[in-house]
Structure 1
Amino acid sequence: MGDINTENLAQKVSGLLLDARRKVLHTVNHKMVVTYYEIGRMIVEEEQNGKERAAYGKQLIAGLSKKLTATFGKGFSQRNLEQMRQFYLVYSIPQTVSAELQNTDFKEHNFQLSWSHYLKLMRIEDIHERKFYEIESLKNNWSLGELNRQYDSALFTRLSRSKDQSQVLRLAKEGQLFEKPQDAIKDPYILEFIGLPEQATYSETELEQKLIEKLESFILELGTGFTFVGRQERISFDDKHFRVDLVFYNRLLRCFVLIDLKIGELRHQDIGQMQMYVNYYDRKVKLDDEGKTIGIILCQNKSEAVVEFTLPENNQQIFASKYMTVLPSKESLAKVIEY
């Protein structure tokens, strides 16, 4: 009898077991979150039966915590029960929700994220913002750390700054969408993950290298649908050679996205150079059924007037955005966004 090669079979069985384990963990997590929601509901309903709600509520939770801990052990401290109560209050429809949101799926909660995610989300007061981060966490499989990072960098605010109320409402309903080039642009981009101090002296090459080293984080900052194509991609014509710092492709917009990195103030020559790169990709690289190439110039500072008067009025391909290498305070970020 010949040797039996079990390697292929072992790989298939291992894949099956790992998939089953993930599904079991997801099911257990979902059931746990739903159970916590129900516990919160039962606490709130019992409180409503009490005459002195504040005093009665504290006494109720203290007594419940003592009994549940004696029966089930850890996990039912007064603090945890108070969080379950708050979870229900936040995710049961408040009376102040707008009519537009009443017609969405806000009433039905699948609770597909972890309990840790919901502990973060329920502290976000604005319901539009909270729903946006919930959708994006699920859509992009954000870890709790990534959810915290995106919230701390004010992703929702950066995306909604130039949108009207109906577009902000759509962000809350559907998350970030990519339907036109402007949807792929943020201003500013927050690049604190590369580890460069705000006032440090560094070159464009060093900045590029840091972004490549943290490519996964950079793609998360760029948004949904981005895939990396290459760095220092060469463009050649008439015995002249140029290099695009970073090239990406967006699967949702079906177009190339060229990124040029600039240290210091943006100049009109930088915009002209990006215009050349974009034209070259449109005429020589992209396929006929692909969208027009997008060019993004990331700079430390820019004059809106220089951008406005260098680009044509109907520009939909070239954009200039600031970048920040440290996570700003809410106050400083608000000033940047307002400016």
Structure 2
Amino acid sequence: MTLQDNFGRRFSYLRLSVTDVCNFRCNYCLPDGYQCSEKEQPLTLEEIHQVATLFARNGTRKIRITGGEPSVRRDLPDIIRTVANIPGIEEVALTTNGWKLPQFLPEWIDAGLTQLNVSIDSLDPRQFAAITGHDRLQDLLQGLALAKSLSFDRIKVNAVLMKEHNGDQLPRFLEWLRTTPVTLRFIELMQTGDNGGFFDRNHISGESIRTDLLNDGWEPVLRKAHDGPAQEFWHPDYAGRIGLIMPYSKDFCSSCNRLRISSLGKLHLCLFGEQGYDLRPYLQAGSLTQAENFLIECLTDKKATHFLHEGKSGATAHFAQIGG
């Protein structure tokens, strides 16, 4: 059985947040740093096991572990190992700011990690520090080099493009991709409850970049079953690939294949939905059957699309809440 909504979309991909804490201060997400607002503790290892089991029983094959910043949890290797050992789960991905990537990566791989996404919003050290609040670019690049030495090649690098901060750095990123075998994904800045003015000043349309890529000989890559929303492109003269995540593009939501669970155990049908549906009482009661019935019922509320084009970002104040 695969989870399906009223529009025929099937969901084989779960984004599972394990904390809303983040130790970076990215200007597009948490410019003032993490502000603790929740008294409730994040999902325990046992609750994470139950969530992964529940979704695997219902057709989920890929789970991405997100935050906040998931590596602030000391038990992250145990979380990866737990998810990787659930029958039916084929891919275990992790999204991280990479703050201690050289230190942690070997342990994550040993635990069962199959795919890694790292955020690098600039290849200029000073600009990177200005965007994130931390001078850690070299650590991230060392982590990528370590991954290559370990033959771990399923790596994607995320960069949020912003007019005032890194909008002029596309040529530098492209030059980097000539010899760097990663997929670099340019993400359109998205409006949230906290960043309205910042969004208005900094949004860059991904469609213009897509047009330039196609004109320069880049070719589309065929999507795989559990892929996320990025449109990927390859070029024979480049070692790396480019992905574009364009939530403001036409029909962006028609290929949606993912659901989200927050670090507090709430189901989010959309990153920009108005509410979360609390699964935690069923997890704590140990009733996966009741949790399954609740999950299937909630899916009937999933809308055909988000409402970003109308300036409505739902209940998402910032992306650290449910991992983007």
TM normalised by structure 1 equals 0.25
- What TM-score comes out, normalization by structure 2 length? 0.26
Structure possessing the higher relative contact order (Cα contacts under 8 Å, 6 or more residues apart): 2
Structure index of larger Rg: 1
Structure number having the greater helix percentage: 1
